[in-house]
Structure formats: structure tokens, C-alpha cells
Amino acid sequence: MKLLHIIATPRAHESNTLKVSTAFLDSLNAKHKDLEVETINLFTENLPNVAGDNIESKYTLSMGQPIDKRHKESWEQIETQIKHFLSADLYLISTPMWNFGIPYVLKYYIDAIVQPGYLYKYNELGQPVPLALGKKMVCITSRGGDYSEHSPFHVYDFQEPYLRAIFGYVGITDVHFVNAQPMDITPDLRAAALAGALEQARNLASNNVWSAVGNAAGAAHSA
């Protein structure tokens, strides 16, 4: 079983989010001896342009037209990221909340990989059909404030609904969230929230069936 750990915090060892993710990964590793973990750190990864030649290719390909050699060479960087993404059975996204949503690097990554013909396609009725099938996802987030259901700020949580929407759109609907919150109000509140999130992450890793249900993505273009 291959897990792709997508890191969207620049804080490395200081990261609140990664403390919880590490607990999740440790518990998962203890349970699944066959677990293979690959990591992509979006703050250090050299992500392909979603502009210039690549934006031209995106629109050309979406109309079913071929792209020339120069565009192809550049587009291969997008395909490499897509291929890497689709090679996983399970995803772990580690992301803080930034301005009620996700950090720009995670949005950039999503803009690069969510391409028609690769992660979804349109059917003859013009409806989107997901192509990233048979996969599971865990999103571990941390927030300075509290956006949980009982909080008056719950409506400002654009992070969890967005991630559920975009990955659900491409076929990843088996998604679990562990949200560590609040992290930045007082040390006591942070300690209590972190302890709760660590326990939730360990339980999630131990009590779920994570074995792969097959790498069933079928891309229309050859990634």
C-alpha cells in the first residue's frame, strides 16, 4: 500500500500539523508492514508552471487538439506530477488553515494536477466523470482558532469543505479529517487541542481498514 504524504506547511519541526501527521503515520506504520510512504513537500517542490505553454496546452488538450513538441516537453512536467499523484492508494494531506482556506502551495498543486482527461473527464452529456477511483484520503489540518461545529466561526471554515469538494470531484470520496484547533489562543488550549488531535489521529490509523481497493484511475490522455 502506497501513501503519498502531501505537506503544505513551511514550518518543518515546529509545525503543529506535522506533529499530528507523525502520530498518524507512526500508528499506520505499526499496523501495516507493507506501507510505503512517499513525501512531497509543496514548499520545496519545484512545481510546474500553470501558465504560459502549460496553460495553452491545457486548453488545447481539453478541446481534443494535439500539442506541438515544445508544449509537449513542458506539459510532461504536469504529467509527471499527475502520475506521481495517481500512483498512490492513500493520501495524507498535512495542511494548516491559512486565511480560512488552504496555503497557496496546496492550491497551486491542485491547479497543476486536477486536469481534464487525467483526474476527471466529461461524458457525452457534458457531465464530469471522476477518474481517480479506489483511493482514500486523510486530511490533517491545524488552525489558530476554533472552527469546530459548536463554534460561531464554523462558517468560516472553507478549508474542509473545499478539500472535500475538489477531491470528491475527481473521485476521492473516502476522506477523513482530523482538525487540531485552536492552536494559537493560549498554551493550555493548544496543549489540550493537540492531545485530542493526536488521540484522534492514532485511533483513525488503528481502527480503519486502509488496504487498497485498487488503483483504478483511467486517464484519457496518457500520463
Contact residues for ligand FMN, defined by CB under 6 A: 9, 11, 15-18, 96-100, 142-145, 183-184
Q: How far is the CB of 114 from ligand FMN (least distance, A)?
A: 23
Q: How far is the CB of 199 from ligand FMN (least distance, A)?
A: 17
Rank residues 124 and 188 by Cβ distance to ligand FMN and give the closer one.
188
Q: How far is the CB of 102 from ligand FMN (least distance, A)?
A: 10
What does the block give as the cell for 221?
490522455
Q: How far is the CB of 23 from ligand FMN (least distance, A)?
A: 13
Rank residues 14 and 34 by Cβ distance to ligand FMN and give the closer one.
14
- Identify each DSSP E strand in 8-54 by its residue range: 36-41
Residue 96, C-beta contacts closer than 8 angstroms, at least 6 positions apart = 8, 9, 11, 15, 16, 17, 103, 141, 142, 143
- Identify each DSSP E strand in 13-97 by its residue range: 36-41, 90-96
Q: Which of 180, 196, 223, 192 is nearest to 72 (CA)?
A: 223
Distance CA(139)–CA(36), nearest Å, equals 18
Rank residues 89 and 157 by Cβ distance to ligand FMN and give the closer one.
157
Rank residues 97 and 137 by Cβ distance to ligand FMN and give the closer one.
97
